[in-house]
Amino acid sequence: MEVIPQTGSIGAEVRGLDLSRPLADDAFEQLVRAFLDYQVILFREQSLSPGQYQEFARRFGRLEDYIFAEGLDGYPYITEIVKTENETGGFGDFWHSDSTYLEVPPAITMLYARQVPPRGGDTLFKDMYAVYDDLSPGLQAALKNLRAVNSASGVPRDEDIYEAVKSRNSERRDQFAVHPVIRIHDQTGRPAVYVNGAHSRRFDGMTRAESRPLLDYLFAHVARPEHQFRLRWQPDTLAMWDNRCTQHHALNDYHGQRRVMHRIIVQGTAPRRP
């Protein structure tokens, strides 16, 4: 196994593994260490059946279905995300951490590229440990005492993002959960900023108007180019990222091209504060 860092703090390519075959325990332990160290890891040129894909994902924990979409026939934990040549809307086209409106958000998301445009459609990732580290000690201390209300209806655009997948549970669009603004990673013990522009609506106990100046400051920090990794997809690339300490943004810059991705999410634990 070879682990090749992609930036100064986030993202690594892993070479030398065939994920269609079961991994030995020592190889899996190395993989987990690389994942925790780099937060986003990717594998190129992987030929996986849906069953093999699910079995690889299960090594990392219990799988969950996506509450707003059906899974593939026979594979309920694999969500197919398709943008056709005639569609302009993008699924995940904003900075976010997946499903923070759940009481127990997913720890890990995996995305397997089945068909990608010849260019465009990259995904950006942000190191949220680094966002926390860049804050002043005074702001770090203030944020540790705050919680944020995260809503499924908080996506910052008028279009319905769930049209990109086969929609279900539309009555749950008002789903929300309250989580710490600073989250302690349950495996590394490191603090990370845990609010995002797609779902975090306000601080618990405050109005939106009172919350917006500080939330907007944190959201702007996420969009800065420092501590970002840009993943350029190729067919049969599999990427996995840690929702506990990263955010991601799927760029929607490939209109007229077809893109097909298979997504799996791995169950997490309830976020805990410092």
Active site residue 98: yes
Rg, Å, the chain Cα set: 18
Catalytic residue among 96, 202, 221, 262: 96
Percent helix, strand and coil across the chain, each to the nearest 5: 20, 30, 50
Catalytic residue among 185, 244, 248, 259: 248
Cβ-count burial of 12 within 10 angstroms (0-12 exposed, 13-18 middle, 19+ buried)? buried
**Strands of 228-231's sheet in order across:** 228-231, 123-127, 246-250
Active site residue 248: yes
Active site residue 65: no
What gap in Å lies between CA 155 and CA 184, rounded to an integer? 25
Q: How far is CA 265 from CA 5, 6, 57, 144, 147, in A?
A: 24, 23, 8, 27, 24
Catalytic residue among 93, 98, 127, 242: 98
H or E stretch covering 183: strand 182-184
**158 Cβ contact list (under 8 Å, min separation 6):** none
Q: Is 32 helix (H, G, I), strand (E, B) or coil?
A: helix
Q: Which residue has the tokens 């899996």?
A: 28
Q: What DSSP character marks residue 99?
A: T
Q: Which residues are catalytic?
A: 96, 98, 248, 263
